[in-house]
Amino acid sequence: MKKIYLVVLLIVSQTFAQTEDEKQMRKIYDAALDNGKAYDWLNYLSNQIGGRLSGSVQAQQAIDYTKAQMDSLGLDRVWLQPVMVPKWVRGTPEFAYMETSPGNTTNIPICALGGSIPTYGRGIKANVIEVHSIEELKTLGKEKISGKIVFFNRPMDPTSVNTFEAYSGAVDQRGKGAAEAGKYEALGVIVRSMNLRQDDFPHAGGMNYGDIPEAEKVPAAAISTNGADLLSATLKLNPNIQFFFKLNCKTLEDVESYNVIGEIKGSSNPDEIMVVGGHLDSWDLGDGSHDDGAGCVQSMEVLRILKKTGYKPKRTIRAVLFMNEENGLRGGRKYAELAKTKNENHIFALESDSGGFTPRGFSFDASEENIKQAESWAKLFEPYYVHMFVKGFSGADISPLKNDKIVLAGLRPDSQRYFDHHHAENDTFEHVNRRELELGAAAMTSLVYLFDKYGIQ
């Protein structure tokens, strides 16, 4: 009889808890959808400040603006965390054309890849050799590559429903292509944009020379998908065409910048810290609305919603707007370094860096026990069409916090349109849907609420 009583008591307790959770999540979604601030904050970041390249004036303006907004929320603490960041500048606009015969040219849309050296002098003009992988360079060897421009033309896999998997399968040519081509005495590198759509927007992104000698460094640029297809088709007809491109970028000395941090102190377990964040820097071609202005304003909105709904977190909740994710990850690494130095106990971190599209769920980098715990809450999210709870990558900026105990999570919006805008001129405010952005903020707040209430396993 006693066992039956305990079982009934447990069921009643769980039912009551479930009801309370449902009520709190409804409050969270109402606060986000009825009078949310994320869209207005993003409007200012995008249209009044614009692209926020690490180390730029616009990046500092974004720091000042987001700190002021978090100050206005009545948080327990708001502060700037200094971090030294690289300062790479694009310079005057890039220019490129292909020449099929003397004087017969066609302009091609390109942009310098972040971290590239410039094309010194008047630019580079040479024959082109098309390849589809870094491994192919080894097969061709120096004899066929020396003195030419290497054209990496491996597209993202259109059959991959998860577009981030398609991106991962192609991005190595952007990141390492120039370093590898330089070993074979190439003059420069042109890389097909990481984009599943056919358009005329070249997509920027970071590249790295690694530790190769200065003499082997070659300039690198992205070419639009339409431009890549035109160049490839023309090469098949006439392998002897010439390609010209001019880049005016350069790398300056590192400068001081900041992570922006706002905090609500925990009521009963203040030494247990939970982080929600995105990266404040962006590439400079567009205004960085999806990548990652959306993640930043959603993270700020988490703190606002918790206060708006009157929820008193047990644990300390921080919104961290990281600086320099795009070309260095200095902000994420500095935050983790200082957390370790201060012996701070981070138990949970959630990142939004996949655009402001309709939320579909979360990915978790955590123990099996904690993933099962998160999966047990899936039914709470079903009324909001958030159904995907999977094991996987969380986010670049929170990854340095990883240890054996922490739960790392990533918001997973619908990914089909993300790479249409990623790192490109059309990553602009007009392409962000207000309700999709707000729904993402509500989903994030709900997950933070549940992990705060129940803790980690």
Contact 432, 290 (CB under 8 A): yes
Q: What is the DSSP letter of 424?
A: S
Tokens of 108: 């091609």
Let me know if 325 is a catalytic residue.
yes
Q: How far apart are CA 54 and CA 117, in angstroms?
A: 17
Nearest to 45 by CA among 275, 276, 295, 277: 295
Enter the DSSP assignment of 377: T
From the candidates 263, 325, 326, 425, give the one annotated as an active-site residue. Answer: 325
Q: Which residue has the tokens 């644990």?
A: 315
329: alpha, beta or left? (left if phi > 0; alpha if psi -120 to 50): left
Q: How far apart are CA 350 and CA 352, in angstroms?
A: 7
Q: Return the bridge partners of 99, or none.
A: 105, 242
Which residues pair with residue 316 across a beta bridge? Answer: 273
How many angstroms separate the CA atoms of 7 and 182, rounded?
69
Contact 323, 63 (CB under 8 A): yes
d(CA 293, CA 110): 24
Distance CA 391, CA 377 (A): 15
CB-CB contact of 318 with 274 (8 Å): yes
- Residues annotated as part of the active site: 325
